[in-house]
Amino acid sequence: MDAERYARVRELFLAIDDLPSDQQRQFLASQCGDDQTLIDEVMSLLEEHDRESAQLEGNSAKKPAIPSAIPEAAATASAESAASADSTASAPESDGNASTSHAPFMPGAQRDVPIDASGEQSGAGLAARERHQRRGDFRSGVRKSRPGTKAGTSKPAPLKSSQITQQSSQRTHASPRYRDEEPATRRRPSAGIWQTRATKHRRFNAGWLWLAAILPTALAGWWTVTQVQTHVRQSAATELATVADAVRTSVNQFLVDQARLAQSWARQDQLRAAVVSLVQTSRQEDSAGALRDSPAAITIRQQLIAQSQQPDIKYVVWDRTGRVIASWLPDGADVGGNVAPDGAADLARAMRGETVLFGPKILTADDNGFRPEMQSPVMAEILPIHDDGGRVVATMLIRGFGMYEALDQIFREASGTAGLDVYAVNSAGVMVTNSPRAQTWLVDDGDGDGREDDGRVSCRLRVSDPDTSAASATKLNLHLRRSQPLTYAVAGVASGQSGSQLDPYRNYAGIEVVGTWRWLNQWNLGIVAERTARSAFATARTVQWGFIVLACMLTLTVLIAASRIAKRTAIAQAAVHPLSRYELVAELGSGGMGVVYRAKHGQLGRDTALKVLRGDRDNLEDRLRFDREAKLAASLSNPHTVTIYDYGRGDEGEAYCVMEFLKGITLYDVVARSGFLPYGRALFILRQVCDSLGEAHKLGLVHRDIKPQNIMLSLDASVGDWAVVFDFGLAKPLQPDADSYQTAETIWAGTPMYMAPERYREPNNIDPRSDIYSVGCIAYFLLSGRPPFIECDPESLFALVLTEQPISISVHRDQDVPEEIVAVVKRCMAKSVDDRFATVDELAAELDRLIADYPWSVEEARSWWRIHGSEVG
């Protein structure tokens, strides 16, 4: 669209805006002739135009302050900024999935729109605006209401071109473009909510008195018992899950460490050379004798003993055919034999280059001459042996260095935690560690194998449900368990699942338990943590019987008292609205969801900011959103974060939130009053912002709407400049709570000029580094006096944020800026999240380093506030 056509469309739009809808098209036809395209374009703009919303937004826009370099305008800017000196922690907030900033942009911030000394735009500025409009969508400019237009007038008031341009530029392009219905009239809090109300008197006889006493008690008892049972179940689930996860972590780390240790032994050069030599010897005919007498076999033993510091270490070496070419047996009885059939699969995996965990398992004799030296379970590592060319030429099994004993000790220590039973099972459901409780509860009276009691359960007990009482289960022969079903927990973990069961089920001893289980797929092991149901729910049973006794005693007491009181009694109930203790001083502002008042606590005399949910937003979704904002903000305690004093609902269902009243001015007004800031002051303020965001991020909360208008600055007598972050209306947790209300966004939310690029691409992706980008934009704003990006239409603004770099800060300051400061700003505003500071704490550390070189003293702060902020109370 060229400048001439743009001017024509604008003229027609302004001319028919106030005409009745049935006369608009007729008027256009008379003005445009046969230019149907022009008619359609103007009508399209009218269909998207919301007159009331645009008029409200236009009338609420302030006249922009003029830079201090222009003497006549500087006084005006200072006077107007003083009007907003007392602000609240909840200035008009963001609305749902879109946000509109009603504060005007900084004067002169448009790179192509200069303003002359009188405050009017020059001819070059008008031409620049035309270029902006030609590049973008004209709709974003014409939807703004013209200041001076009033409802009911037939023609708009004349406008100055500078006013039109300034209002177009101050849009953040986050406002909804389409409105399906007229906005409801905002309902102010009724006067009745600050008044004391009295309920009607009720009269009842002794029978009603008994019912009124017993029924609430019964309900309270039922509710309390239910809550206690729920809490006890949650506590049991948390305890079991914590133990199971801790054991899983310990076991996984232990097995990884053991595998790495064995791998380091297998990679030892002399050992590898000895194995390669044995492989070559094994290729000779009738090589069994040569393998036994080979010096390489002695070298393998010596190297393993030296590496492991275990004189009794045991090992077996196979070549690629599965033939034994060396072993720890002194007589080499198994050399020349083949791998057992049940070990062929593990050997094949090792031949492919994997490190394979063997066991826990009880070894048995085989036909190759091997005889187990003990009946206890063993664990081993099966490792590939590579030649100098990197090819796997053999495999080696190493055991006898205390691997199983250390694993068993992990489970023994976990079982000693608060009476839990923690053990490991394999995929067949066999217990492979020694559970002290299993050894206590079960007595194997049918093995007849002469084995000692120590370790009798491990690798022998199939964890099945005996389907009998605990007393008879203690005498159940372990061999009979092969035909019985696995217990609930072991059946789940043996199938490769992780989970929990808080409804009691029988364990291997027939005792009712609750449990949690975890499966370690890498090691083919399962972890089960159980507690007896009796001990897990003891507290709930105690509370339940306590309420039964209380109900009996209360019934008796009420019956005695009812016989002695009068038949009829008048009871007056007074209900006082929770907001009655607050005196409203003035309305401070209205946003997308709430109205903010300055209020004074009647008893304490403390000034507060009282936010009340607007009447036209009093629906379930907005109430839940309002609740979420208050709860999220209340979870923060940093002194640089706004404090929440109270929250609740009134008698009429009004949601309200009482917050700290912040006396000061926003960072936007700070720059508006005195221009860009000294380096030291900007760094000092940003460091305090990092303190607030650092706490929020550590609690898993991302602000998502960090901008100068949401940071209040005041003067502290001992510190100097004191910054406080507020407006958590768009904040979101990194790990959403399934029980709390969450917004599911498909469009972005926030202020576009300060939003990170990834927020445009993935609106629902929550990343703390998006806040770091916004901090970088604030740093640019404080150091240059202008936002990093400004455009008249959203498409152009989005393109700049996504692809372009802002103008150098030195250009705006007309002086060289230290590279180390520029580097911090650029890193914060990097397009890729990976190129930014990883955390706010990392950014804070860098700011601390710079602050040492660019100090900002308390006296300098006091001097600024005496000149520019003396009216701030």
Domain boundaries along the sequence of the chain: 3-83+115-169, 214-260+416-567, 267-404, 578-868
| Most confident option among 170-184, 211-225, 419-433, 591-605 | 419-433
Position 552 confidence tier, pLDDT thresholds 50, 70, 90: confident
- What pLDDT score does 369 carry? 60
Whether the model clears a pTM of 0.75, i.e. scores above it, the answer is no
How far apart (Å, rounded) are the C-alpha atoms in residues 195 and 106? 45
How does residue 679 score in pLDDT terms, banded at 50, 70 and 90? very high
611 annotated as belonging to a binding site for a ligand:
yes
**What is the average pLDDT value for the chain, to the nearest integer?**
74
pLDDT value for 95: 40
Q: What pLDDT does residue 33 have?
A: 79
The closest of 416, 406, 435 to 254, measured between CA atoms, is 406
The yes-or-no verdict on residue 651 having pLDDT over 80 is: no
Q: Residue for token digits 């969801």?
A: 593
What is the CATH class of 578-868? mainly alpha
Widest distance between CA atoms in the chain = 115
Angstrom distance (rounded) from CA 98 to CA 104: 18
Check residue 855 and give its pLDDT: 93
Q: What pLDDT is attached to residue 161?
A: 33
Confidence of residue 64 (pLDDT cuts 50, 70, 90): very low
Residue 832: burial class (beta carbons within 10 Å; 0-12, 13-18, 19+): exposed
Task: Tell me: pLDDT of 29 over 60.
Answer: yes
Is 490:526 a contact under the CB 8 Å cutoff? yes
| Mean pLDDT for the stretch of residues 22-39 | 81
Q: Residue 323 gets which letter from DSSP?
A: B
Summarised one tens digit per residue, pLDDT across range 810-836 is 999 999 999 999 999 999 999 999 999
Closest CA to 383 of 266, 516, 296, 521: 266
In this structure, are residues 409 and 384 in contact, taking their beta carbons and an 8 Å threshold?
Answer: no
Does residue 232 register a pLDDT over 50? Answer: yes
Q: Does residue 585 contact residue 599 with C-beta atoms inside 8 Å?
A: yes
For 118-132, 490-504, 512-526, 649-663, which range has the lowest pLDDT when averaged over its residues? 118-132
- Per-residue model confidence (pLDDT) at position 461: 86
pLDDT greater than 50 at residue 253: yes
Tell me the average pLDDT across 695-704. 87
Pair 201, 572: CB distance under 8 Å: yes
State the pLDDT at residue 81. 35
Q: Which of 308-322, 527-541, 675-689 has the highest mean pLDDT?
A: 675-689
Grouping H, G, I as helix, E, B as strand and the rest as coil, residue 588 is: strand
At 835 the pLDDT is 94
- Which pLDDT band, with edges at 50, 70 and 90, does 857 fall under? very high
Kindly indicate the confidence band of residue 343, based on its pLDDT and cuts at 50, 70 and 90: confident
Q: Which fold has domain 214-260+416-567?
A: Beta-Lactamase (3.30.450)
What is the structure's pLDDT at 465?
A: 85
Q: Which of 128-132, 487-491, 854-858 has the lowest mean pLDDT?
A: 128-132
pLDDT in tens, 493-509: 999 999 999 899 989 88
Residue 577's pLDDT is 63
Other CB atoms within a 10 A radius of the CB of residue 585 amount to: 15
Q: For a pLDDT cut of 90, what percent of the chain falls above it?
A: 29
Q: Which of 357, 347, 299, 342 is nearest to 323 (CA)?
A: 347
> What's the confidence (pLDDT) of residue 48?
66
Taking residues 185-193, what's their average pLDDT? 44
**Per residue, what are the HEC states of 205-264?**
CHHHHHHHHHHHHHHHHHHHHHHHHHHHHHHHHHHHHHHHHHHHHHHHHHHHHHHHHHHH
421-425 and 525-532 as β-strands: parallel, antiparallel, unpaired?
Answer: antiparallel
Which CATH class name applies to 267-404? alpha beta
Neighbours of 419 (CB within 10 A): 11
Asked if 550 contacts 176 with a C-beta cutoff of 8 angstroms, the reply is: no
Q: Distance between CA atoms of 360 and 871, rounded to whole angstroms? A: 78
User: DSSP class of residue 115?
Assistant: B
Backbone region of residue 316 per phi and psi (left: phi > 0; alpha: psi in -120 to 50; beta: other values): beta
Please indicate whether the domains covering 214-260+416-567 and 578-868 agree at the CATH topology level.
no
**Averaged pLDDT, 553-577:** 55
Predicted pLDDT of residue 374: 72
pLDDT recorded at residue 777: 95
| Per-residue pLDDT tens digits for 79-122 | 333 333 344 444 434 443 333 333 333 333 333 333 333 333 33
Q: How far apart are CA 38 and CA 32, in angstroms?
A: 7
Q: What is the pLDDT of residue 151?
A: 35
Among the listed ranges 62-71, 186-195, 575-584, which one has the minimum average pLDDT value?
62-71
| Residue 603 confidence (pLDDT) | 82
Sign of CA dihedral 3, 5, 6, 7: positive
pLDDT at 211: 66
Task: Indicate if the pLDDT at residue 135 is higher than 80.
Answer: no
Residues 366, 324: contact at Cβ < 8 Å?
Answer: no
Q: How far is 789 from 755, CA to CA, in rounded Å?
A: 11
Residues 277, 290: contact at Cβ < 8 Å?
A: no
Residue 196 has pLDDT above 70, yes or no: no
Residue with tokens 């900033």: 101
